[in-house]
Structure 1
Amino acid sequence: MVDRANRPSALHAPSAAAPEAQVDIVGTGASSKVIATLPSGESVEVLLYGATVVSWKSNGGKTENLWLSEKAALDGSKAVRGGIPVVFPVFGPPPKSGHPTSSLPQHGFARTSRWEFLGKSTSEDALDSQSVKLDFGLYSSGLAEEARRAWPLDFGLVYSVTLSKDSLQTVVNVRNEGNKSFEFQFLLHTYLKVKDISKVAINGLLGVTYIDKVLNASTHQQSESSLHITGEIDRVYGSIPQDTTSVVEDGTSRFDVVRDNLQDTVIWNPWIEKAKAMGDFSPDDGYKNMVCVEVGAVKGWQKLEKGEVFEGGQTIKSLL
Structure 2
Amino acid sequence: MTHTISSTNQSLQIKRKAVEVTKDRNGTDQILLQNPRGASARVSLHGGQVLSWRTDRGEELLFTSSKAILKPPYAVRGGIPICFPQFGQRGSLEQHGFARNRTWIIDENPPPLHPNDNNGKAFIDLLLKPLEDDLKIWPHSFEFRLRVYLTADGNLSLISRIRNINCKPFSFSIAYHTYFSISDISEVRVEGLETLDYLDNLCQRERFTEQGDALTFESEVDRVYLGSRDVIAIFDHERKRAFFIRKEGLPDVGVWNPWVKKSKAIVDFGDEEYKQMLCVNGAAVEKPITLKTGEEWTGRLELSVVPSS
TM-score (norm 2): 0.87
**CA RMSD after TM alignment:** 2.3
2:96 aligned counterpart, secondary structure: coil
The aligned length equals 288
Q: 1:298 to 1:123 in 2, by over 3 A?
A: closer
Per-residue deviation, 1:47: 1.0
Per-residue deviation, 1:125: 7.5
AA paired with 2:150?
L
CA contact (8 A) 1:133 1:161 kept: yes
Per-residue deviation, 1:218: 1.8
> Aligned residue for 1:248?
235
Per-residue deviation, 1:162: 1.0
CA contact (8 A) 1:30 1:75 kept: no
For structure 1, the residue ranges without an aligned partner over 5 or more in a row are: 1-18, 95-101
AA paired with 1:118?
D
AA paired with 1:21?
A
Q: 1:311 to 1:32 in 2, by over 3 A?
A: same
> Aligned residue for 1:184?
172
1:64 aligned counterpart, secondary structure: coil
1:234 aligned counterpart, secondary structure: strand
C-alpha separation in 2, matches of 1:201 and 1:67: 17
AA paired with 1:243?
D
Of residues 130, 140, 143, the one that matches 2:120 is 130
Is residue 2:50 matched to residue 1:53? yes
> Aligned residue for 1:110?
99
Structure 1 segments of 4+ aligned residues over 4 angstroms from their partners: 119-126
CA contact (8 A) 2:135 2:141 kept: no
AA paired with 1:265?
V
C-alpha separation in 1, matches of 2:217 and 2:251: 22
2:203 aligned counterpart, secondary structure: coil
**Residue-by-residue CA offset, 1:202-225 (whole Å, 9 max, x unaligned):** 000111000111233221111111
Report 1:58-137 matches (<5 A): 58=55, 60-94=56-90, 102-118=91-107, 130-137=120-127
AA paired with 2:121?
S
**Residue-by-residue CA offset, 1:219-255 (whole Å, 9 max, x unaligned):** 1111111100111000110111x21110011174410
AA paired with 1:55?
S
AA paired with 2:136?
R
> Aligned residue for 2:189?
201
**Residue-by-residue CA offset, 1:38-97 (whole Å, 9 max, x unaligned):** 232111111111011110001x14211100011212221311111000000011112xxx
For structure 2, the residue ranges without an aligned partner over 5 or more in a row are: 1-15
CA contact (8 A) 1:122 1:130 kept: no
AA paired with 1:303?
T
CA contact (8 A) 1:68 1:83 kept: yes
Q: 1:301 to 1:134 in 2, by over 3 A?
A: same
C-alpha separation in 2, matches of 1:80 and 1:21: 25
AA paired with 1:45?
R
Per-residue deviation, 1:23: 2.3
Per-residue deviation, 1:277: 0.8
Report 1:230-269 matches (<5 A): 230-240=218-228, 242-250=229-237, 252-269=240-257
Of residues 204, 208, 219, the one that matches 1:220 is 208
C-alpha separation in 1, matches of 2:203 and 2:176: 23
**Residue-by-residue CA offset, 1:255-310 (whole Å, 9 max, x unaligned):** 0001112110000000011111101012x211111100011101121100000000
Is residue 2:31 matched to residue 1:41? no
C-alpha separation in 2, matches of 1:27 and 1:289: 25
CA contact (8 A) 2:46 2:101 kept: yes
2:268 aligned counterpart, secondary structure: coil
- Percent sequence identity over aligned pairs: 32
> Aligned residue for 1:10?
none
CA contact (8 A) 2:170 2:290 kept: yes
Is residue 2:125 matched to residue 1:171? no
Per-residue deviation, 1:319: 1.2
CA contact (8 A) 1:193 1:291 kept: yes
CA contact (8 A) 1:122 1:132 kept: no
CA contact (8 A) 1:296 1:313 kept: no
C-alpha separation in 1, matches of 2:92 and 2:203: 26
1:224 aligned counterpart, secondary structure: coil
Q: 1:22 to 1:155 in 2, by over 3 A?
A: closer
